Amino acid sequence: MFLANDASMTLNVAESKVANLVGLLARHRERKGLSQRQLAALAGLNPKTISLWERGKRSPTLVALLLVSAAMDYDLGQNLKEVLAND
């Protein structure tokens, strides 16, 4: 039987994985010497969006992740595999 606690635990794990991926993206952005504002401009996003992700206030959509990854020449697929593989 599916319980509310199971759903909550699953959601927490998923949120943790997204937070890990956003952290990797933030470190990559910093290594490339880009500000949040510069990255947002390159990806066609609002600068507040990047800030909200990096502060854990919002989660990125898949499309937004793809835009940001392309803007930074970041291998989203490989890093997503690593994040999902780590428990």
Domains located in the chain, CATH noted? 4-85 (1.10.260.40)
pLDDT the model gives residue 87: 61
Neighbours of 36 (CB within 10 A): 19
Q: What is the pLDDT of residues 43-63, one digit of tens each?
A: 999 999 999 999 999 999 999
pLDDT the model gives residue 80: 86
> pLDDT confidence of 14, banded at 50, 70, 90?
confident
**pTM value?**
0.81
Summarize the confidence of residues 9-37 as an average pLDDT. Answer: 88
Most trustworthy range by pLDDT among 15-24, 28-37, 72-81: 28-37
- Cα–Cα distances (Å) from 25 to 6, 69, 75, 81, in that order, read 29, 8, 10, 14
